[in-house]
Amino acid sequence: MDVLVGRYADARLAGFAPDELARFETLLNLPDPMVQAWVFSGEGAAAEFEDLVADIRVFHRLADKAN
């Protein structure tokens, strides 16, 4: 999980607005298996995190660029 989220954070956090950063921190406090399942499957993410998980998936080339 650290590799998936850490590389994403290194590349993207500097551009996050304060509310986006707070939401990302909330995501980090969720159980790793839950977040990992969302990232790898692309399904089941809580509505609050859908766009963030989608961006992580695109970053790691697990999905095509979101619309």
Asked whether the beta carbons of 5 and 12 are under 8 A apart, the reply is no
pTM: 0.89
Q: What is the DSSP letter of 65?
A: P
Residues 6+ apart with CB under 8 A from 51: 66
Domain boundaries of the chain, sorted by first residue? 1-12+29-67
pLDDT, one tens digit per residue, over 2-61 is 888 999 999 999 999 999 999 999 999 999 999 999 999 999 999 999 999 999 999 999
| CA distance linking residue 14 with residue 41, whole number of Å | 27
| CA distance linking residue 44 with residue 10, whole number of Å | 25
